[in-house]
Amino acid sequence: MKGDTNEQALLKGLAHNDSKAIEIIYKDNFNMIQAFILNNNGSYDEARDIFQEAMIALYEKSQTDSFVLTCQIKTYLYSICRRLWLKRLQQMGRYTGSIDGFEETVAVEEDWENHEKRNAEFAIMDRALNSLGEPCKSLLQGYYLKKMDMNALAAEFGYTNADNAKNQKYKCLMRLKKLFFSQYNIGE
């Protein structure tokens, strides 16, 4: 079962972080997931978390070169959410042994593991960035996250010129790399 052209377009939009496409996917699927979570001991906040997590998993999947979705978006999101919620319930000790919901599911184990791995990496990056201290953290965030150019960064942080800012950025980057890889390799 291959997603129709409309779904293909939506996934393309999602891959490019297009808010219109995300809005449509969100609107079409959120209520179903929310009902599922609420029916299985979950809260509104948890429904939101789980759904957004699944959206991110789908987003990550859409980024890969060999990306093909072999089912409907709806089925995929439901499968991920179901898997996620089951794990969450078990972690919290609220799992009662059965979970309601009779929607069709697809195998998402592989994607799921990838997503978990990515999340772990992001957590490491997050920790590394946060232990950098200022101004390194903001400087690197400005360059790599907000994609500001060196001149703008020099102006914002008060460096006399872009070259000085660039020097500082490399120093910070080396520290970040060190922090990141020390954690990352342990994780491996």
Which residue type is seen at 62? Answer: S
* Least spacing, CB of residue 59 vs other proteins, in Å: 5
* Least spacing, CB of residue 19 vs other proteins, in Å: 5
- Nearest to other proteins of 1, 38 (CB atom): 38
The residue count for the chain: 188
- Nearest to other proteins of 99, 125 (CB atom): 125
- Nearest to other proteins of 31, 39 (CB atom): 31
CB 21 within 8 A of CB 10: yes
The sign of the CA dihedral 121, 127, 132, 133 is: positive
Question: Of the candidates 46, 51, 19, which has an alpha carbon nearest to the alpha carbon of residue 32?
Answer: 51
* Least spacing, CB of residue 173 vs other proteins, in Å: 7
* Least spacing, CB of residue 17 vs other proteins, in Å: 6
* Least spacing, CB of residue 1 vs other proteins, in Å: 26
CB 10 within 8 A of CB 78: no
- Nearest to other proteins of 19, 90 (CB atom): 19
- Nearest to other proteins of 92, 120 (CB atom): 120
- Provide the phi-psi class of 107: left if phi over 0, else alpha when psi is between -120 and 50, else beta: beta
Q: What residue ranges bind other proteins (CB under 8 A)? A: 17, 19, 22-23, 26-27, 30-31, 34, 44, 48, 52, 55-56, 59, 63, 118, 121-122, 125-126, 144-145, 147, 166-167, 170-171, 173-174, 177, 180-181
- Exposed/middle/buried for residue 2 (C-beta within 10 Å: 0-12, 13-18, 19+): exposed
